[in-house]
Each structure stands twice: as C-alpha cells, then as structure tokens.
Amino acid sequence: MKKAIITGVTGQDGAYLTELLLEKGYEVHGIKRRSSLINTERIDHLYEDTHVYNKKFFLHYGDLSDSSNLIRVVQNVQPDEIYNLGAMSHVRVSFDLPEYCADVDGIGTLRLMEAVRTLGLTEKTRIYQASTSELYGKVQEVPQSEKTPFYPRSPYAVAKMYAFWITVNYREAYNMFACNGILFNHESPQRGETFVTRKITRAVAKMALGLQDMMFMGNIHSQRDWGHAKDYVEGMYRILQHDTPEDFVLATGVTTKIKDFIIRAFERLHVELEFKGEGVDETAYVKSHDNTYAFKTGQQVLAIDPRYFRPTEVDLLIGDASKARNLLGWEPKYTWQSLCDEMIDSDVELFKKDTLLRKAGFEIKNQYE
C-alpha cells in the first residue's frame, strides 16, 4: 500500500485528490492548519466514514511556515508521494499579504524539499509541486506550454516562481523525483467562495432564490482557461506515476471571458442578460426570464466595483497540454460550460436547502458564509 502526504488537504484540490488516492488504495496523510473554526467541511465525508476507507485517512496539524513540523510528519509517515498543494492561493489577496505569501508559497516548498532531503528520502519519495499558469502572467506566447517563458504579475505568482525553480533545482541537484504541474485554472462546486467562478455561481443562485439583488465584480474582460478540479487531480496523480520526473502543463486549451461565464451562469437558470456601458460603468440587466426563479425583467444584476481590480492583471491564459496528453494520456473530460452548469446547480441546491431550513425555523449557519 502506497502512502501519500497532501499539504493543503482542506482545500478544493486537496479534497478531490484525497478521494482519488483513497479510491486507489493509498493511505493518505493530510496536513491541515490549526484554525479557530473547523475547516474540514470538504473532507469530513472521507474522514468520518471510517468504514468506507478502513481508517486509511489521517490528519496531522501542520503549517508550511514550520519546518520542524514538516520534518516530523514526513519522518513519521515515510511517504512514497508528497503532493504540495498548501498555499495562500488567492492572487488578489497576495497583494495585501506579499510577505506571508512568499513565506508559505515560496519558502514553504523549500522546507518540504529539505525535509525529504535531510531525512534521506530522496530515492523513496516523489514530490508534486502545485505550480500555476499565473507564472505566465503577462503572456509571452499564445498558447502557453512548458517552454513558454514566465512573466509573473503578482506576489503570488512570484512566490510560486521560486517554488517552481526550487523544485527543478532539487530534481537536478539531488536527483529527486520532484515535478511541477503547471495547472491552469480549475474549479468545482468545492471552489473557494471568493474565486471568480464560485463568486458568480453563488451570487446567481442566491438571486434566483430571491436572497440577493445583484453582484459587484472586478475586471470581467480577462480570459481564463477553466477546467474541472476532478480532471486536474487525476493529472497530478499521473505526473507522479510517469517513468521520469518532468514538468507538465494541464489545461483545456479553451479560453473564456469572465463575462461569458456570467452569461452562461444566468442562461442555466433561463435568464437572458442585456449589458450596458463600458469599463467601470458596465452593468447588466435581466432582459428576459421564464418565471421559474425570482428574477424580474429589468432587474440590475451586475455592476463593476474597482475594489476588485488588481494592481497588475493577467489578461489572457490559454494552455497547451499536448505534452500531458501525449506522455500521460491525460485529457480533461469537462468543458467550461459543463463545469459552470454543475456549479450553478450545486449552489442552487445549497441555498434552497438553507432557505427551507430557515423557513422551518432552524437557525442554520451557512458553512460557506
């Protein structure tokens, strides 16, 4: 039985990867941060049902800013594989927390590499580093592949750039099986609530149920290559099963404007939008709807709030994943449209359930708020 450590186990990808590895028969050890509120909603179903996975899933307190803890966990587990998914992963927030982001996302990766090296596990333990399409930033080539030069545009991306190269360096210097997955944006119903896709699907679902009037967005003209997190964790796993340690881009090869994701999200609930104005004055209204939900014709549903703009933006991301397709046989199954539909449906159900419980007199705390 293989053993894996996952940092960032409580995050979107950590939850999907844990499920995948448990299904494959791994013993999984997740590293989670101490928090004042319980933060394991995404993995509770895996952790609590000990019958399903026969006690093969363990959680350890830890933090990428604490090397002694990382050494202790790695020493105790003696893992075959480590997936380093832990990070302060919000690009906009990294402008507010640049030093913390450098420490956790950059030096945190070094701490993990050093733990493996100093414990003499360089031949045994394979390491996956969660690198990102944000490295391409102000893109130097379209589409972006493993050969495209980097031009990071945020403290997050610069921190991840250090992590990328320290992974390459430890592979070359110490012959470690250490790989970067350069992953383009991937989303799911489990996506953090402040990333753009989830912010949109939550807001549209709430408007549909009459719980919210409109939403405020940032730059809706940037373009992203969106896939589903389920497909991408399968890619992470395949990267570590490959014969040789290499870096891989995972992407769908399709790029979409934030605005088009918004249009699709409303369409899923039978609403046609009309956009007016430009730049910070751009707005959107309900042009037509079929009365299934609480929308009203003429209702304003969108305005721009410059608070959500970034000091430096990444305007266009579109990945070329042909290396992963050819060497790993990796192909994404979801399109951005099927992803958007799944997220909308899931958020409508989430808020319907909350509304029913509230109506029945239960004082419920929405876990996502």
Q: Give the footprint of ligand NAP on this chain (CB under 6 A).
A: 7-8, 10-14, 33, 35, 39, 63-65, 85-89, 104, 130, 132, 183, 185-186, 192
Q: How many CA atoms does the CB half-sphere of 47 hold within 13 Å? A: 16
Q: How far apart are CA 305 and CA 215, in angstroms?
A: 9
Least distance between ligand G4F and beta carbon 194 (Å): 6
Whichever of 12 and 148 has its CB closer to ligand NAP, that residue is 12
Residue 243 dihedral angles phi and psi, to the nearest 5°: -65, -35
Burial letters for 238-274: b for 16+ Cβ neighbours within 10 Å, e otherwise? Answer: bbbeeeebbbbbbbbbbbbebbebbbbbbebbebebe
Least distance (Å) from ligand NAP to the CB of residue 202? 15
Exposed/middle/buried for residue 173 (C-beta within 10 Å: 0-12, 13-18, 19+) = exposed
Q: Out of 10, 132, 255, 256, which one is annotated catalytic?
A: 132
Q: Which does 222 bind (CB under 5 to 8 A by kind): ligand NAP, ligand G4F, none?
A: ligand G4F
3-state secondary structure of 118: helix
Q: Which residues bind ligand G4F (CB under 6 A)?
A: 89, 91-92, 132-134, 184-185, 194-196, 199, 217-220, 222, 224, 258, 308, 310, 313-314, 317
Q: Where are the beta strands (DSSP E) in the chain?
A: 3-7, 27-32, 57-61, 81-84, 126-132, 177-183, 186-187, 215-217, 223-224, 227-228, 248-250, 256-257, 271-276, 283-289, 300-304
Q: Which of 19, 134, 187, 234 is catalytic?
A: 134
**Residue 109 catalytic?**
no
Residue 288 in 3-state DSSP?
A: strand
- When CB distances are held under 5 to 8 angstroms depending on the partner's kind, the choice from ligand G4F, ligand NAP, none that residue 88 binds is ligand NAP
CB of 325 to ligand G4F, least distance (A): 19
End-to-end CA distance of the chain: 39
Active site residue 81: no
Complex with ligand G4F: residue 73 or 258, whichever CB lies closer: 258
Rounded distance between C-alpha atoms, residue 114 and residue 150, angstroms: 25
Residue 199 interacting partner from ligand G4F, ligand NAP, none (CB closer than 5 to 8 Å by kind): ligand G4F
Tell me whether residue 104 or residue 301 sits nearer to ligand NAP (CB atom).
104
List the catalytic residue out of 156, 170, 237, 334.
156
Q: Which does 245 bind (CB under 5 to 8 A by kind): ligand NAP, ligand G4F, none?
A: none
Backbone angles phi, psi at 299, to 5 degrees: -65, 130
- Minimum Å gap between C-beta 319 and ligand G4F is 9
Q: Kindly tell me which of 258 and 340 has the beta carbon lying closer to ligand G4F.
A: 258
Binding partner at 92 among ligand G4F, ligand NAP, none, C-beta below 5 to 8 Å by kind: ligand G4F
Active-site residue 132, yes or no? yes
Residue 27: contacted member of ligand NAP, ligand G4F, none (CB under 5 to 8 Å, by partner type) = none
Residue 326 burial class via C-beta count within 10 angstroms: exposed 0-12, middle 13-18, buried 19 and up: exposed
Q: Which is nearer to ligand G4F, 27 or 225 (CB)?
A: 225
Distance, C-alpha 276 to centroid of its chain: 32
Residues forming the active site: 132, 134, 156
